[in-house]
Amino acid sequence: MPKQIELTNLAIKKLCKELNKELKAGFINKIQETENNWLKIKIHTKAGTKQLIAADSFLFLSDYSFPAKMQTTGFGALLNKKLYNKKILKIEQYNTERILLFEFENFLLIMELFAKGNIALCNKQYEIIAIKRKIKRNSQILKPKAKYLFPEGRKEINNENFEDFYKSIKAAKGNIVQRTVKKYNLFPLVAEEICQELGIDKNNIEDKEKLKEFFDKLKERFSKEIRGEAYLLELKNKFVISLFRIKSAENLLRFETISKAIEFAATKIISERTTKSIEEKKLESIKASILKVKRKIEELEKSAELNKRKAETIYNHYVEIAKFLEFLKKRKIKENSVMYKKFPFLKKIDLKDKKAVFEFD
């Protein structure tokens, strides 16, 4: 399974600011689909043409030339038709969720950047015009003509007070790190490092004073680094993009913007997929060659078996065949019927082509 790119809520908050700076007041020029079913959106801005790539659960600005399909159909074609030459009024993050809203005069383009990701085009009353994937949410199917429903939200830690934090953490399951990650969509290593730094036993949920220290430190980290750089951590099955410099993480890469970090990870994913595709094609070619050789061996084995049986037949009936050949040399026969009577195993003979067909029991 190819690697995924995971964005935290705060990373998306910073990404939203970056996109507004680059794309606000720009006009949609063209929407195409790439070979891996991402959307390639060209936008005319005062600073020139920008290229926005919208993948399954992430999006980013890129100067890299992503090849598009010869013809965009279905969802991509409908978006291109509806949004062509439309002005981007603003880009917003919905509450503190991993959802971005691109606002146009008559439309809202909603991008869900979590789980498998999704994109929905709605009117200003949130009625769905088109959606990339039909999904069920709160017992309702999100599909064209249905009302778009936002998922249940989570609080941002900067807007949280300790008492609310304490109650929700106490009511949750798991250790301090697990409960905090689930509540605020944090990358686990961030919470792990704070526990280590403060000497907190992450399995001790009962120590309210320690939890207060943990909460204060967490808020401090969020408020300090929200305007900082982006950090990319490559794990076994995913890339994690964070605003936090994770001290214990190896091979942590720093980028000036969230978009640049995502672009780097995305190009690595494409490179790995391309390499894997080439390897799979090579493997298929090798398998086909092996199968071809196997079939040839089977044919040769069958041919060898047939030739063996022929040789055995000739050997077992050598005397009869020899008599027949001697008969042909000594006598000139005009009527073939004489030979058929004299040699019952003879089924067909052509003296002109010097061919004879024998049949033995």
Distance (Å, whole) CA 274 – CA 360: 62
Same domain, 203 and 261: no
Distance (Å, whole) CA 263 – CA 51: 12
CA 12, distance to chain mean position in Å, is 21
Distance (Å, whole) CA 253 – CA 192: 19
Q: Tell me what pLDDT residue 332 has.
A: 60
Q: Tell me what pLDDT residue 324 has.
A: 81
Q: Tell me what pLDDT residue 274 has.
A: 61
Same domain, 36 and 110: yes
| Within a domain: 174 | yes
Quote the crossing angle between the two packed helices 176-184 and 208-225, to the nearest 10°: 40
Q: Which residue type, as a one-letter code, is found at position 56?
A: D
Q: For residue 153, which of 104, 116, 125, 114 has the smallest C-alpha distance? A: 114
Same domain, 214 and 94: no
What sign for the dihedral angle of Cα 34, 36, 39, 45?
Answer: negative
Distance (Å, whole) CA 175 – CA 51: 43
Distance (Å, whole) CA 153 – CA 167: 18
Domain extent, residue 323, equals 317-358
Q: Tell me what pLDDT residue 70 has.
A: 81
Distance (Å, whole) CA 198 – CA 215: 11
Same domain, 131 and 213: no
Distance (Å, whole) CA 343 – CA 88: 98
Same domain, 292 and 346: no
Which helix (H) or strand (E) is 269 found in, with range? helix 258-316
| Within a domain: 164 | yes
| Within a domain: 331 | yes
Query: Token match 């049949």: residue?
Result: 359
Same domain, 147 and 10: yes
Q: Tell me what pLDDT residue 42 has.
A: 96
Same domain, 295 and 202: no
Same domain, 17 and 142: yes
Q: Tell me what pLDDT residue 212 has.
A: 93
Distance (Å, whole) CA 247 – CA 102: 35
Radius of gyration for the alpha carbons in the chain, expressed in angstroms and rounded: 37
Instruction: Give the model confidence (pLDDT) of 74-104 as tens digits.
Output: 899 999 999 999 999 999 999 878 899 999 9
| Within a domain: 240 | no
| Within a domain: 236 | no
Q: Tell me what pLDDT residue 240 has.
A: 86
How many domains would you assign to the chain?
3
Q: Which long-range contacts (CB under 8 A, 24 or more apart) does 228-234 make?
A: 229/254, 229/255, 229/256, 230/11, 230/14, 230/254, 230/255, 230/256, 230/257, 230/258, 230/260, 230/261, 231/255, 231/261, 232/261, 232/264, 232/265, 233/187, 233/189, 234/3, 234/265, 234/268
| Within a domain: 248 | no
Same domain, 299 and 332: no
Q: Are 67 and 46 in contact (CB under 8 A)?
A: no
Cα dihedral 273, 275, 279, 281, rounded to 10, equals 70
Instruction: Give the model confidence (pLDDT) of 264-289 as tens digits.
Output: 998 888 777 665 555 566 667 767 77
Taking 50 as the pLDDT cut, the residues of the chain under it are: none
Same domain, 62 and 96: yes
